[in-house]
Chain A
Amino acid sequence: MHQSRLLSVIAAVALAATTAASAQEAEPGWAKGRPKTDTAMKMAPVPAFPIPTPVNELPTRKLKLPPGFKVETWASGVLDARELRQGAKGNIFVSTLFVGNKVYALPEKAVDGKREPKVIIDKTEQAAGIEFYKGSLYFATHKRIVRYDNVEDKLDNLGEPTKVLKDDLPGGSDHSWKYLRVHNDKLYFNIGAPCNICDPGDYAKIYSMKLDGSGVETVASGVRNTVGFDFDPKSGDLWFTNNGRDWLSEELPNDTLNHVTQPGKQHFGYPYCHQGNLPDPEFGWGKSCDDYAKPAALLGPHAGSLGLKFYTGKMFPAKYQGAMFIAIHGPWNRTKKYNGVYVAWPDGKGGAKVEPFMTGFIENNNYLGRPVDFLVMKDGSLLVSDDHAGAIYRISYAGK
């Protein structure tokens, strides 16, 4: 789509959304569709706790993994740790979302047994989207996408961005935070639906653009909110997690894992059809789920499926080569909590097989930790961020 048209469409959509909101009297976007029961009334998105869990109280020892795997605390005291990326010189970049307003850099190797997070970007709302590519840090808030060149040489004083790539993102507070990946010299980003359930216009899409910010194209439509995607190193295809709508019921709909086979041409159903087979009670009339791309797998009701990363290391056993890890943050829109790190294998027929991989983050229906994103280290171990506990774990394999 032509950029100027995209702009005007987004502006029109924003205007329409505002008008719709006024009609609904003060109801925030996430509350749309909420039933009027006491139980539902008490549910709202759960922000990360404002202080990281002390290292000796982290749930690390309670986490359960397949035989031969081991998990340890890699870093603690990283308030609101969200997306993970690594620089060419080894620095680990960590973004935040609602609480931190920061991006950190952590050293690859511990100093005196500890990795001290260095704040490199501060006081910035929704500092969520990060990607590292050819010496540069790409950084996206809900409002703009910028690039810092030679970032690893100026961690002590990043200064102003080298280039502003896009400053016309729609902002807002519903599903407006970003997830970034660079693939084949294009930067991929998401614009989530500005509500729980509504006609999203040019929101609810995955876009790509050239690294200078030009040439914005639609990659996938009907995507309510993706907070994790990656490219299959074998096929080059894009896979993404998608957060399903809220409030329909305790058990429905599922979050989904999806596979883009025809970039720019597929519609994944939102707001008309959920999880490939469930027409929306409001927007689904007169629509058929058969007209939309089916998910590759279901990830659980209100799962909060976030980071997705193909395993590209050599340390894990052969069955994990080519598999993708998925962070299930855990539901807020469900009375019974669950979460963990899942693993999924493409089945070669468009679908995928999904299994829990690391669990144990929940005690008495309360979260002790909530996984967000991954990083495959050079030695093949896997880092997992946890925004609830403000920690990063390292999973390694030592089995035979």
Chain B
Amino acid sequence: MAWRRNAVVAALVSLVLAAASPAHAQVKKPAARAGAASAAAAAPAVDYGEQFRTVCAACHGPNGRSDMPGVPVLAGQPSLYVITQLFLFREGRRHNDAMIALAKPMKDADLRGFSDYIGTLPPVPAPTPAAPPDAARMSKGQALAQQHKCLFCHGSDLAGGQQVPRIGGQKEDYVRATLQGFKSGERPGYTRAMTEALSQVPVEDLDVLAYFAANIRAP
């Protein structure tokens, strides 16, 4: 599976490079930002919805939710959160080879265009599981989310907002990996909010928190 995904990503990277280059060809001159801005204004506007379907949808799904393991749900994410993450990928601070490769050639206008478009994708609930979530685990998760103040910023339904991501209904493996990454220091945030918030949370609570976030249902 991994090799296949890498191949898909490699193909996509070349695609996005090709797709992005015409729009920016005339910006190459060393000249100026003012020149760049007016050139961009004069050029036909890039359709980031189309770009999303070409570049992002193969892994993330055309509606922002795919069934590919480990690939986060983009549907329902606030555009401000998305642009901070694209920025971290472009800067090489958040580690993911595929996303770094995609984000590296992006101009500021691309970061804004992709994040604005993704911000318009409505939330897509997780497919109904065969069995209902484990009630005991869910209530333990609820208590831990309360205790560790997750709900402070992510909201009581974990829907997020502004620079805070929607984690309610996010894929469990992705949430778990993210929490572990913040905890170990491997994953940097745009701010230090998550690193600080997790600094006092025991590692053994992370699994239950991920389970709770993934399975929470909108009230």
Residues of A whose CB lies within 8 Å of any CB of B are: 21-22, 24-29, 31, 41-42, 44-45, 47, 49-52, 54-56, 76-77, 98-99, 101, 112-114, 173
Contact = CB atoms under 8 A, between A and B. Distances in A.
B42 interface: no
Interface of B: 30-34, 37-38, 83-84, 86-87, 91, 93, 108-109, 111-112, 147-149, 152-153, 161, 163, 190-193, 196-201
The 8 closest A-B pairs by CB, nearest first: A50-B87, A114-B32, A51-B108, A28-B196, A26-B200, A173-B192, A26-B148, A47-B191
Contacts of B196: 26, 28-29, 173
A173 B201 CA distance: 18
B191 A50 contact: no
B149 A114 contact: no
Contact of A113 (B32, B37, B87, B199): B32
Contacts of A52: 108
26 contacts: A21-B199, A24-B200, A25-B148, A26-B148, A26-B197, A28-B192, A28-B193, A28-B196, A31-B152, A41-B152, A42-B161, A44-B153, A47-B191, A50-B86, A51-B87, A54-B108, A56-B34, A56-B37, A76-B33, A99-B87, A101-B91, A112-B30, A114-B31, A114-B32, A114-B34, A173-B196
Contact of B198 (A26, A31, A114, A173): A26
A45 B191 contact: yes
A204 to B, nearest CB: 19
B111 A50 contact: yes
Contacts of A29: 196
A38 to B, nearest CB: 10
Given A26-B196, A51-B108, 6 more contacts: A25-B148, A49-B83, A51-B83, A56-B34, A112-B32, A114-B33
B84 A55 contact: no
Nearest to A114: B32
Contacts of A98: 191-192
Contacts of B153: 44
B112 to A, nearest CB: 6
Contacts of B87: 50-51, 99
Contacts of B147: 25-26
A26 B191 contact: no
A33 to B, nearest CB: 14
Contacts of A51: 83, 87, 108, 111-112
A41 B38 CA distance: 41
A26 B199 contact: yes
A76 B93 CA distance: 23
A55 B41 CA distance: 13
A112 B31 contact: yes
A50 B87 CA distance: 6
A368 B199 CA distance: 34
Nearest to B29: A112
Contacts of A49: 83
Contacts of A47: 84, 163, 190-191
Given A47-B163, A50-B87, A51-B87, A25 B200 contact: yes
Given A44-B193, A98-B191, A21 B33 contact: no
Contacts of B109: 54
B219 to A, nearest CB: 15
Contacts of A56: 34, 37-38
A246 B153 CA distance: 17
A29 B196 CA distance: 9
A18 to B, nearest CB: 9
B103 to A, nearest CB: 11
B182 to A, nearest CB: 12
A169 B2 CA distance: 44
A192 to B, nearest CB: 15
